[in-house]
Amino acid sequence: MSTHRTTILRIETQGPSLNEFTGKAVAWVADSGVSTGLLTLFIRHTSASLLIQENAAPEVQDDLLDHFDRLAPEGPHYAHDSEGPDDMPAHLKAAMTQTHLAIPVIEGQLALGTWQGIYLFEHRRRPHHREVAMHLAGA
């Protein structure tokens, strides 16, 4: 019988970084007993985002941070600057990546590839409490 369940995951961040939480998503799916279904992750913020990326080479993360800094640099050219120089670039980086992700569950396991990790992509400088809503539908 198909069921739906949800939970809120809380993640603390310390400045611009990719914060892996694959293990927490995997554990929640395993606990559910769902064999075939779909996991959806949704970040409840507009200055941080979600991303699936390679979890093998740590330099990939440095290059990702540099890349999005280059595409959305800090500077005096933004109309919205009341919340600090890193705020509008953070919204732009979020707009270029993902607010949500979805991953099929097959035979009780997330269908992630061998090198795929799930990351919360923090774009602000100050420490933040972030929330990710998780939804699992399946049977």
Q: Is 79 in the site for a copy of itself (CB under 8 A)?
A: yes
Q: Is the C-alpha dihedral spanning 67, 72, 75, 80 positive or negative? A: negative
Q: Is 72 in the site for a copy of itself (CB under 8 A)?
A: yes
Strands 37-43 and 48-54: unpaired
Q: Cβ 24 to a copy of itself, closest distance in Å?
A: 16
Q: Is 103 in the site for a copy of itself (CB under 8 A)?
A: yes
For residues 100 and 4, give the distance between their C-alpha atoms in angstroms, rounded to a whole number. 17
Q: Is 131 in the site for a copy of itself (CB under 8 A)?
A: yes
Strands 3-14 and 17-20: unpaired
Residue from 13, 16, 29, 88 touching a copy of itself (CB under 8 A): that is 88
Q: How far is CA 8 from CA 2, 12, 28, in A?
A: 21, 13, 11
Binding residues (CB under 8 A) for a copy of itself: these are 1-6, 8, 36-38, 40, 42-47, 51-54, 57, 59-60, 62-64, 66-67, 71-72, 77-80, 82, 88, 91-92, 94-106, 111-113, 115-116, 131, 133-135, 137-139
